[in-house]
Amino acid sequence: MIIVKGIAASPGIAIGPAYLVKPDNTVIEKKHIPPTNIGWELRRFEEAVEKSMADLEASQAQVKSLFGSKYAKLIAAHKLILKDPLLISSVKNKIEKEQISAEYALSCAAKEITARFESLKDELFRERKYDLADVAKRLFENLTKKKQNKFSGIKEPSIIIAHNLFPSDTINLKGKNVLGFATDIGGKTSHTALLAQSMQMPAVVGLSDASSQIKDGDLIILDGETGLILINPEPKILKQYKEEQIKIDEAELSLKQISPLPNETSDGHKVSLYINYDPRRDFKAWDAFRSDGLGLLRTEFIYMDRFDPPSEDEQYQIYKKTAHRFDKRPVTIRLADLGGDKITQLGLGRREKESNPFMGCRGIRLFLKYPELLYTQLRAIVRASAEVDASVKIMIPMVSSVEEVREVKAALKQVLKETEDSGIIPRRPIMLGAMIEVPSAALSLDGILPEVDFISIGTNDLIQYLIAVDRGNQEVAELYDPYHPAVLRTINFIIQGCRKKGKPVSVCGEMASDPEMIPFLVGLGVDILSLSPRMFLRIKSTLRGLNFEACADLAQAAMLLTSSEEIKTLREDYSL
């Protein structure tokens, strides 16, 4: 038996034979053309672009019909790439100036642009290289008039194993005897992963070289819960996973039954459960979760895959539609947390490349440097709040000092005055909050609290900065540890500071969606947990099985310990 660890992209367990997708080893040779053929090559390429756009239109309609309009926007990103002059002009220039075939020019241009994507440090933007590759593959097939059918050989329910699957491949998996899929590359935020989630198909990505270790017909266990694949498992392990499959199915039914029950511990201690909401991944099942509100609307997606910042009207429509979805419940809109490597296409002028953008001009730092971005987003939020019943809250990302909070507060005050003069008045007071994810903000909390209405603890970055661990760096990724005493003590410090000033505090990030960490957070006195949709009912079930007094004792005991191992042992031994 061989076990390979990857990234859990879509939950669930699949068991079945492997269907190995052979990699495309097509070699595009450099082919020079005579000057008289340049016009012909350009026409061939233009026709391929037109045919590819027609294919994308058809794919978009297919995705919309199968998964809904939100997922159809994933294909819209490919259409945007196909219209991108960076790609199209580059290919045409190479044909004209280097006198090479359209196929070779396309190959060279795609490699150059991919290298630019790979130099970015943000995972979301790095993964756009796969979208570029999908578009380039489509163009190449239309140039050569040779289309591949990777899945024609599937004769029985199987698990797809591939080096990579493009979104165009993933769309074609539905209804083709596919139990799940695993790929060597990719991440949680790739379009392929999002489509797998929409199809409720177990998937594991980022497996490195798993496709080279697996043969057609090998028995595979694909664990989309933990990101593992097991190759030719022993009978005992196979039996355990089949039992786990049954448990998961039963648990899903059980979780749905607790949906209408209150969000509280077994002894009646209330903890509000908010949902992290992404309009691009909207589905009707979220309505059944009965969340207490929207804990985090990440607005960065509005700025992605484009060359100019989104307009005020475009943002206003998104915020209004989102807030309507939550009726009178709180809706927390985070100002766009754009990193230093995410803004090269936003028309902000030439900027020097940052060697460490996660500690550079990102979050509120960027918005204060380019105030037009800040004012545009604030105006859009205020306009939306004037037309909805929801209680709108604005959250400031990457706060490191009280001065930043005061600048945003002054900007909001100015926007509110301007909109009021125009007859636009929010139906409810807009609350302003700070996201505490930088240690300096945690230690400056006494100055920040008087300026805000609420606090949100962003655990992903807070842990990263506290322990000085880049989670994307495989050399040190294992050091990223939510059980670290410094992490729990800092969270306790923030919560106690909020308690003294009577300000509500929420926790978001992976820690809030980890069932093992919930007893600590509840025991420390957090008011709100902001959860991923996938984990919402699981965390609710965990919460309802806890005793608050026992959690409080556990949390206080953890404050006295000095190592992660001691805290983990305490958690395992404690009766809750």
- Collapsing DSSP to helix, strand or coil, 199 comes out as coil
Helices 38-67 and 85-98, interaxial angle, to 10°?
Answer: 160
Query: Please, which pLDDT band fits residue 476 given cuts at 50, 70 and 90?
Result: confident
| Cβ count within 10 A of residue 227 | 20
pLDDT at 14 over 70: yes
Range scoring the smallest mean pLDDT among 70-74, 122-126, 306-310: 122-126
User: The tokens of 566 are what?
Assistant: 């001691």
Closest CA to 167 of 91, 67, 97, 295: 67
Q: Say how many CA atoms lie within 13 Å of 60 toward its Cβ.
A: 17
Q: What's residue 67's pLDDT?
A: 58
Q: Give the tens place of pLDDT for each residue, 272-293.
A: 999 988 776 555 555 667 899 9
> Which residue among the candidates 78, 191, 484, 498 is catalytic per the annotation?
191
Q: Is the pLDDT of residue 442 over 90?
A: yes
- Lowest-confidence pick of 55-59, 174-178, 399-403, 569-573: 174-178
- 444-453 pLDDT, tens digit each: 999 999 999 9
Q: Which of 172-176, 205-209, 333-337 tops mean pLDDT?
A: 333-337
Check residues 382 and 51 and name the one with the higher pLDDT: 382
* Integer Cα distance of 398 and 407 in angstroms: 14
Give the highest mean pLDDT range of 140-154, 161-175, 410-424, 475-489: 410-424
Output the pLDDT for position 535: 83
Give the integer Cα–Cα distance in Å for 143 and 164: 22
Show Cβ contacts of residue 435 under 8 Å, excluding neighbours closer than 6 positions. Answer: 334, 395, 396, 397, 398, 399, 456, 457, 458
The band of 344, judged by pLDDT with boundaries at 50, 70 and 90, is very low
Separation between Cα atoms, residue 100 and residue 83, nearest integer Å = 22
Q: Rounded to the nearest 5 degrees, what angle is found at the Cα of 319, between the Cα atoms of 315 and 320? A: 115
**Residue 551 annotated to the active site:** no
Predicted pLDDT at 348 = 60
pLDDT for the residue 271: 97
**pLDDT tens, position by position, 288-329:** 678 999 999 989 888 876 778 899 999 999 999 999 989 899
Q: Indicate which residue of 163, 361, 484, 508 is catalytic.
A: 508
- Token code pair at residue 41: 């090559």
Q: Is 191 considered catalytic here?
A: yes
Domains and CATH numbers, the chain: 2-24+150-234 (3.50.30.10), 35-144 (1.10.274.10), 256-573 (3.20.20.60)
Q: What is the pLDDT of residue 8?
A: 87
Instruction: Give the number of other Cβ atoms within 10 Å of residue 311's Cβ.
Output: 12
The closest alpha carbon to 52, from 24, 86, 83, 73, belongs to 83
